[in-house]
Amino acid sequence: MTPVAVLIGPPGAGKTTVGRRLATLLDVSFDDTDAIIERREARAIADIFVDDGEPYFREVERSVVLDAIDAHGGVLALGGGAALDSLVQEALSDHAVVFLDVGIADAAKRVGFDQSRPLLSVNPRASWVALMNARRPVYERLARHRVDTAGREVDDIADEIVRLLAGGSES
């Protein structure tokens, strides 16, 4: 199997929310690699970071993402940092990757920069900007399509992705 669409982007871009709606529109299943990790590890991602550190989390994430790319036939949302891994990048090369882009104002409204986001726990706004500056080139390189989610409704975003996947014009 191969995913119909793989959603990438920073925290607060709407990967999970848009992914669920997109899967409904396409009549396929949805999964989120962060949720898969939490099920597999039986604990929250923030707890994995605290208990075992980021290197351990990234190893688990790589394994989960690579398995999901091979096995999932619907819409797949990746955690914000998953696309930075070189093996994940290679695995994504032949897939319909959609970069959900967002600015800090909308991201802050959506995620609230709370403690469940371990990479954003210290000075969350500055951390998000630095994180996005580092990740944007990777997201843009991997994506077949870029969709700006700022200030938009979930249905509008999902509808645009459906058009793009069907070969409609780029946004």
Q: In CATH, what number is assigned to the domain containing residue 161?
A: 3.40.50.300
For residue 11, the enclosing domain spans: 5-165
Domain-located, residue 91? yes
Binding residues for ATP: 12-17, 117, 152
- Residue 124 has what pLDDT? 67
Could you tell me the end-to-end alpha-carbon distance of the chain, in angstroms, rounded to an integer? 27
Binding residues: 12-17, 34, 58, 80, 117, 135, 152
In order along its 171 residues, the chain shows pLDDT tens digits of: 778 999 999 888 899 999 999 999 999 999 999 999 999 999 999 899 889 998 999 999 999 999 999 998 999 999 989 999 999 999 999 999 999 998 776 766 656 555 455 544 556 677 778 888 889 999 999 999 999 998 899 999 999 999 999 986 554
**DSSP SS3 for 39:** helix
- 145 vs 169: CA distance, rounded Å: 10
Domain-located, residue 170? no
